[in-house]
Amino acid sequence: MTWKELEKRIQREIRPRKSAILKADGKERRIVTSNKGGKIGMRTGKETNNTKAVTYEMIRFAFDTVSREGRFDSDDFRNGFRDKYNAAPCRFSMTGGVLVELGIADLIPSEDETTCYYTLKK
């Protein structure tokens, strides 16, 4: 799959109020609140209306990394988007979660389910 093909799928398949992106624990999901202007907004928790956003640029970075390396983790995200990671580390799992939702990657949670990484779906 090329980035252009994936970008079209993101636009078509990640739908506000209909899509929910898997969290790092591999159990809970974040509701998508918007998908426009190259950004996907998601609720940050069940008890709040706060949202965070990931950009298509972040998703492309994750897609390129997992396609090339077979794996995408928080170190990769931090190296590519240090300021965004420092401001909201959850953006890492939000980004990888989009790839899981579209069937590109599998989420591999840690034993305590507080962290994760993503592998290329085979």
Q: DSSP character for 114?
A: S
What token pair was written down for 49?
């209306």
Place of tokens 């506000």: 16
Does the model's pTM come out above 0.85? yes
64 vs 2, 60, 97, 112, 121, CA distance in Å? 9, 6, 15, 28, 13
pLDDT digits (tens, 9 = 90+) for 78-115: 999 999 999 999 999 999 999 999 999 999 988 877 78
Domain positions in the chain: 3-120
Q: Which of 117, 7, 106 is nearest to 55 (CA)?
A: 7
pLDDT of residue 58: 98
pLDDT for 23-62, tens place per residue? Answer: 988 889 999 999 999 999 999 877 778 899 999 999 999 9
List the 105-109 sheet strands across, edge first.
71-72, 116-120, 105-109
